[in-house]
Amino acid sequence: MGGIFRVNTYYTDLEPYLQSTKLPIYGALLDGENIYELVDKSKGILVIGNESKGIRSTIQNFIQKPITIPRIGQAESLNAAVATGIIVGQLTL
The pLDDT tens digits of the residues spanning 36-76 come to: 999 888 899 999 999 889 999 999 999 999 999 998 888 77
As beta bridge partners, residue 33 has 67
Query: Which CATH number characterizes residue 83's domain?
Result: 3.40.1280.10
What is the count of structural domains for the chain?
1
Q: Is residue 65 part of a domain?
A: yes
Asked whether residue 40 is domain-assigned, the answer is yes
* pLDDT the model gives residue 24: 96
Residue 72 placed within a domain: yes
11 domain-assigned: no
| List of E strands, 1-93 | 25-34, 45-47, 65-68
CB 47 within 8 A of CB 26: yes
Q: Which domain holds residue 71?
A: 29-93
Q: Output the average pLDDT for the chain.
A: 91
